[in-house]
Amino acid sequence: MKNVIETKNLTKVYKNFTAVNSLNLEIPDKTIFGMLGPNGAGKTTTIKMLTCLTQPTSGSATVGGFDVKSDPDEVRRLLGMVPQQVSLYKDLTVMENSQLCADYYGIPSDERDSRIDELMELVDIAYAKDKRISQLSGGQKQKASLVASLVHRPKILFLDEPTIGLDPTTKRVLWDLIRELNDDGHTIILCSHDMHEVDMLCDNVGIINTGNLVAYDTPQGLKDSLLKSNESELKDALSQISAESDDSKEDIDNLALRKMSILLKNFDESIIDGLYGVKSIEIEKNNRINLRIDSFDDNAVNNILKHIIDANGIIKSVSTEEPSLDDVFIKATSEVNENDRA
Ligand SMILES: Nc1ncnc2c1ncn2[C@@H]1O[C@H](COP(=O)(O)OP(=O)(O)OP(=O)(O)O)[C@@H](O)[C@H]1O
Ligand SMILES: [Mg+2]
């Protein structure tokens, strides 16, 4: 199976508000897919349709080859879900909730408790196994929810903002767990507002804005296309400006997204004389030079370093700032029609 999830014009309308608008999405099997989007974009609604918690208004979706409308039981058997709002039984303990899940999925009783114990150790919640959900802290509830959703080792795992409220150590444990599950052939769908998390973990990323898919690529692909689109905007802006105002200069500087900072052992003007491909150079007192690179040529950084070395500059350290997934997110979701959010 090439795509484990496919949606065709998937739409959800609440009364007369369209939360998900004709979404066409393909998630390749055995990959980690990151779903990004501003608050209210339609991520959780999409996940609810894919996990058969709510019916699409129109369009279709298949999960593991089964249709969410006509084969919801088959779909449910394949998946595990950590919802945005923890949905465990509040009056049952951590252990009892996990046992209930295991029984629902028919996990043999001789395996059940050892699997649960193993998962509880892994996410560090074993010490609270006999506590009721209502007695737990936010992060502890999140951990309990993780154990319950993983106990049947689902082929497809939906995680809706799973690391919110987790301490940094547990966050890393969960990231490792996501990678391990993926190595074992599980597909993971991860909704998150943590760009670093998505950048690090995901094979592909989709950005949803007001119910529409506005970008879909690998994390690196998204960043590369941001550089390309900034390059063409920069060229357009440069060709339009004849009488340069300070405002327009600033706009152009903001488009030159790549920044570079070089610490030199020695400095004199000849080192930067004739330096090509930079928008601006700022020289600090301690022989540090900060550059804004306006050339999007792949060799731009190489060329700058070579120029400095050829001019007998001795480089102590270099740092460059690439566009981040944050930049991609902000750009992709910047054009919002306020009427679509009402
Ligand atoms: N049951 C419902 N009835 C009416 N409107 C709803 C319902 N559930 C969600 N919505 C609306 O649908 C839109 C999408 O909500 P959704 O929960 O899918 O957003 P999200 O992308 O998950 O946001 P967040 O990042 O805040 O979790 C929102 O405008 C929300 O108000
Ligand atoms: Mg949500």
pLDDT along the chain (342 residues), means of 10: 94 95 96 95 96 96 96 93 87 95 89 94 92 93 91 93 87 90 94 92 95 93 80 67 54 63 92 86 90 78 92 92 82 69 59
Closest CA relative to residue 323, chosen from 232, 221, 237: 221
Distance from residue 47's CA to the centre of ligand 2 (Å): 9
Ligand 2 center from residue 45 Cα (angstroms): 7
pLDDT of residue 46: 97
Residue 33: the pLDDT is 98
Q: Write out residues with Cβ below 6 Å of ligand 1.
A: 14, 17, 19, 37, 39-45, 84
Residue 12, strand partner residues: 20
Are residue 95 and residue 183 in the same domain, yes or no? yes
- Same domain, yes or no: 11 and 141: yes
CATH of the domain at 176: 3.40.50.300
Ligand 1 atom 22 nearest Cα: 44
Instruction: Calculate ∠ Cα 99-93-83, nearest 5°.
Output: 75
pLDDT on residue 333: 86
Among 35, 39, 44, residue to substitute to test ligand 1 (most atoms within 8 Å of Cβ): 44
Distance 189 CA to ligand 2 centre (A): 13
**For position 17, what pLDDT does the model report?**
94
**Full-model pTM:** 0.81
Residue 334 lies in a domain: no
Q: Any idea which ligand is nearest the CA of 20?
A: 1
Atom 25, ligand 1: residue with shortest CA distance: 39
- Contact in structure between 61 and 50 (CB atoms under 8 Å): yes
pLDDT on residue 254: 54
Q: What is the pLDDT of residue 166?
A: 85
Tell me, what's the pLDDT at 62?
A: 97
| Centroid of ligand 1 to alpha carbon of 19 (angstroms) | 7
Residue 266 backbone dihedrals phi, psi, to 5 degrees:
-130, 150
What CATH number does the domain containing 266 carry?
Answer: 3.30.70.980
Domain assignment present for 213: yes
pLDDT of residue 85: 80
Residue 99 CA to residue 243 CA, distance in Å, equals 72
Burial class (CB in 10 A: 0-12, 13-18, 19+), 213: buried
Q: Which ligand has an atom closest to residue 159 CA?
A: 2
- Same domain flag for 228 and 209: no
Q: What is the 3-state secondary structure (H, E, C) of 191-237?
A: ECCCHHHHHHHCCEEEEEECCEEEEEECHHHHHHHHHHHHHHHHHHH
How many other C-beta atoms are found inside a 10 Å radius of the C-beta of residue 268? 12
Domain count along the chain: 2
Confidence (pLDDT) at 84: 82
Q: Are residues 96 and 151 in the same domain?
A: yes
Ligand 1, pocket-test mutation among 12, 23, 43, 54, most atoms within 8 A of CB: 43
Q: Whose CA is nearest to atom 26 of ligand 1?
A: 39
pLDDT in tens, 101-141: 999 888 998 899 999 999 999 888 999 999 999 999 988 99
Among 180, 202, 218, residue at a domain's last position: 218
Q: Which residue's alpha carbon is nearest to atom 31 within ligand 1? A: 40
Residues 170 and 245 in one domain: no
